[in-house]
Amino acid sequence: MTIDPTTAAACENSPAPQAPGSSRVGLIVPSSNTTMETELPELFRRQSEATGHRYTFHSARAAMKQVNREELLAMVGKAAECATAVSDADVDVIAYACLVAVMAQGPGAHKESEQVIGEAARDNGHPADVVSSAGALVRTLQTIGAHRVAIVTPYMAPLTQMVREYIEGEGIEVLDAVALEVPDNLAVGRLDPENLPDIARGLEREGAEAIVLSACVQMPSLAAVQRVEDELGLPVVTAATATTFEVLRALGHRPAISGAGRLLTGELS
C-alpha cells in the first residue's frame, strides 16, 4: 500500500475531526494532580447519561509538587505554554485547574490568567473559551447569590487565609475557613472524602448561604457533596463542581448532573 506523504503530513499536523454530538475539554493541571482528571470526567459522564452529548478530556501538565508560593508561581509561569500544547487538540474549552496557584497571584488574578491562556490558544490557531477554577468558584458563588459562605481547604493556614481574602475580595464574606494543613499535593489527593461530612458539620454556618466543601481541585470531595447538601440544607459547591458548571455554560449546555448538588442539576441557575 502506498501512503500519500501529503495526507500523512496532514494527519500528523491536525487533530482528528470532532464527532457530531461531542465536545472536547482541555485541562491544565499541576503535574501532581490526581483528582481533577477523575472527578470532572465522572461529572461529565453523568451529564452524558442524561443528555446523550459526549465529552472527551485532553490534558497538559505543569510542574508542581509542594503547595507553596514558589512552586505555585512557577506553575503560573507555565500557563501559556500549557495552553498552547492543549489547544493543539482543537479543544472547545480550556479549564485551568489549579485554584490556589491563581489566587496566590493577588486580587482578581483569575481574569489575567484566563486572558493569558485564551491568547495563547488563539495565537496557536485554535481559539477556545477559558475557565479557571479560581474564577469559576467566585463567579459561581455570585451566580447563585451566595454572599456568605463557609469553606474547607487542604492548604496550610497562611494559604487558606490568602484564599479567604481572595474570595472576600470578590464580594463574598467567608464566615469560617477550615485549613487541613497538608503541604504535599499528592497527599492532598489521598485525603478521604468520607471525612468531609464531619468537617462540614463543624463549620460555623450561621448566616451562610452556601458551603464550599473543597476550595481545591486536588482535594477529593465528589463522594460527599450530595450527602453534605442533603444533611445541612445549604447549597454545596466545590472547585470541581464550579469548574464543571462554567465549562458547561461555556459550551452552551444546561447542567443535568445528578448526585453532585443542586448547582449541577440546574436548579440554582
- Residues 73-92 have pLDDT tens digits of 666 668 899 999 999 999 99
Q: Is 82 annotated as a binding residue?
A: no
Q: Is 155 annotated as a binding residue?
A: yes
Residue 195, number of CB atoms within 10 A of its CB: 12
Which residues have a catalytic role annotated?
Answer: 98, 216
Mean pLDDT for the stretch of residues 140-166: 96
Find where cell 476550595 sits: 215
Mean pLDDT for the stretch of residues 106-124: 94
What average pLDDT does the structure give for the chain? 90
- Residues 13-52 have pLDDT tens digits of 555 556 679 999 999 998 888 999 999 999 999 999 999 9
Q: C-alpha distances in angstroms, 256 versus 15, 78, 198, 225?
A: 29, 34, 28, 16
CA atoms in the 13 A half-sphere facing the CB of 204:
7
Q: Is 166 annotated as a binding residue?
A: no
Q: C-alpha distances in angstroms, 235 versus 83, 139, 142, 202, 216?
A: 32, 15, 13, 16, 17
Q: Is 159 annotated as a binding residue?
A: no
Q: Is 33 annotated as a binding residue?
A: yes
Find where cell 496557584 sits: 101
Q: What is the pLDDT of residue 104?
A: 86
More confident residue, 262 or 68: 262
Question: Poorest-confidence range of 7-21, 87-101, 139-153, 194-208?
Answer: 7-21
More confident residue, 213 or 12: 213
C-alpha 177/C-alpha 103 separation (Å) is: 15
Domains and CATH numbers, the chain: 5-14+22-134+242-262 (3.40.50.12500), 136-238 (3.40.50.12500)
Q: What is the pLDDT of residue 169?
A: 97
